[in-house]
């Protein structure tokens, strides 16, 4: 492994009760502030040298705050913010957001939309079509049921960089691999799509997950995307529902241990640097 190790998916937040809608039952451990000092502590212990911080509130105010924090701390290499992609004047908002410090991409939580076909909406696709001119990537946050329409959506934007979060949230808890595996393989045929090895333990049984239980999902994305389009992420602090930060980092390192040093470097740093156009790591 090289010296650089980038956590391509983590969060920071200032907790305000009752918290965001996604923060449901059995998530009491998340109901507090998670700030840069907390992040420094867990990354230092795990040998992580840089991170990408990702939105959780779906507000421009949060995006501006994340960029402000990132500007003041070298540990954070990039920001994935939120932008109102479906509004008629989204380009002017995107121009402003793209100018924020270390802004690399935006995302919208597609898996929270009641319409399973949301990614095919005209207004959303118009907004996505404006990202390229501002040099912004797009993080895709979906459940595995959204994969077929996401493939169609990606095909509408062949020049846009997409980063798939959390391996599309397969049904790991139920040990279901298909049709997720076939759909992942199909999506990975698009060279403009990258994938994050993240968010897996919270889709598994929080108390009983194991490396062996995750291996079919690891193996699938490794074969489908190859190391040059795979990147490691923790989804911290959400990961703490099922794992310590260090345990997840070690789990990924064990899962990729059989790869060459160069392949490991791609997964642990170089893919994130390329996909998010990071200046430093």
Q: DSSP 3-state assignment of 21?
A: coil
Other CB atoms within 10 A of residue 231 CB? 29
Other CB atoms within 10 A of residue 211 CB? 11
Q: State residue 223's pLDDT score.
A: 98
Q: Cα 131–276–168 angle (5° rounding)?
A: 80
Q: State residue 280's pLDDT score.
A: 54
Q: What is the mean pLDDT of the chain?
A: 96
Query: What percentage of the chain reaches a pLDDT higher than 70?
Result: 99
Q: State residue 281's pLDDT score.
A: 46
Using a 10 angstrom Cβ sphere, with 0-12 exposed, 13-18 middle and 19 or more buried, the burial of residue 24 is exposed
Q: State residue 125's pLDDT score.
A: 98
Where do the DSSP E strands lie in 151-238? 162-164, 193-197, 230-232
Q: Which CATH superfamily is domain 6-275 in?
A: Metal-dependent hydrolases (3.20.20.140)
Q: Flag residues of the chain having pLDDT under 70.
A: 1-2, 280-281
Q: State residue 1's pLDDT score.
A: 39
Q: 79-89 burial string, b = 16+ CB within 10 Å, else e?
A: bbbbbbbbeee
In this prediction the pTM is 0.96
């Amino acid at each position: 492994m090289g010296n650089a190790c980038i956590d391509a998916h983590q969060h920071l937040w200032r907790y305000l009760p009752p918290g965001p809608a996604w923060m449901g039952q059995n998530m009491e451990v998340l109901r507090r502030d998670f700030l840069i000092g907390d992040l420094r502590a867990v990354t230092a212990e795990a040998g992580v040298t840089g991170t990408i911080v990702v939105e959780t509130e779906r507000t421009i105010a949060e995006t501006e705050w994340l960029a402000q924090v990132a500007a003041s701390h070298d540990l954070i290499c990039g920001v994935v913010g939120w932008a109102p992609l479906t509004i008629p004047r989204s380009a002017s908002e995107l121009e402003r957001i793209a100018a924020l410090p270390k802004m690399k991409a935006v995302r919208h939580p597609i898996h929270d939309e009641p319409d399973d076909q949301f990614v095919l909406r005209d207004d959303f696709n118009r907004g996505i079509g404006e990202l390229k001119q501002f040099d912004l990537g797009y993080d895709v946050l979906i459940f595995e049921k959204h994969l077929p329409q996401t493939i169609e959506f990606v095909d509408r934007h062949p020049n846009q960089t997409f980063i798939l979060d959390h391996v599309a949230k397969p049904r790991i808890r139920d040990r279901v691999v298909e049709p997720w595996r076939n759909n992942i393989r199909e999506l990975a045929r698009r060279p403009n799509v990258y994938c994050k090895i993240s968010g897996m333990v919270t889709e598994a049984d929080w108390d009983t997950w194991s490396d062996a239980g995750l291996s079919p999902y690891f193996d699938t994305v490794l074969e489908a995307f190859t190391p040059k389009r795979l990147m490691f992420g923790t989804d911290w602090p959400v990961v703490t529902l099922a794992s310590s930060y260090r345990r997840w980092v070690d789990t990924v390192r064990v899962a990729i241990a059989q790869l060459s040093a160069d392949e490991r470097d791609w997964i642990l740093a170089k893919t994130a640097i390329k996909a998010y156009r990071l200046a430093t790591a």
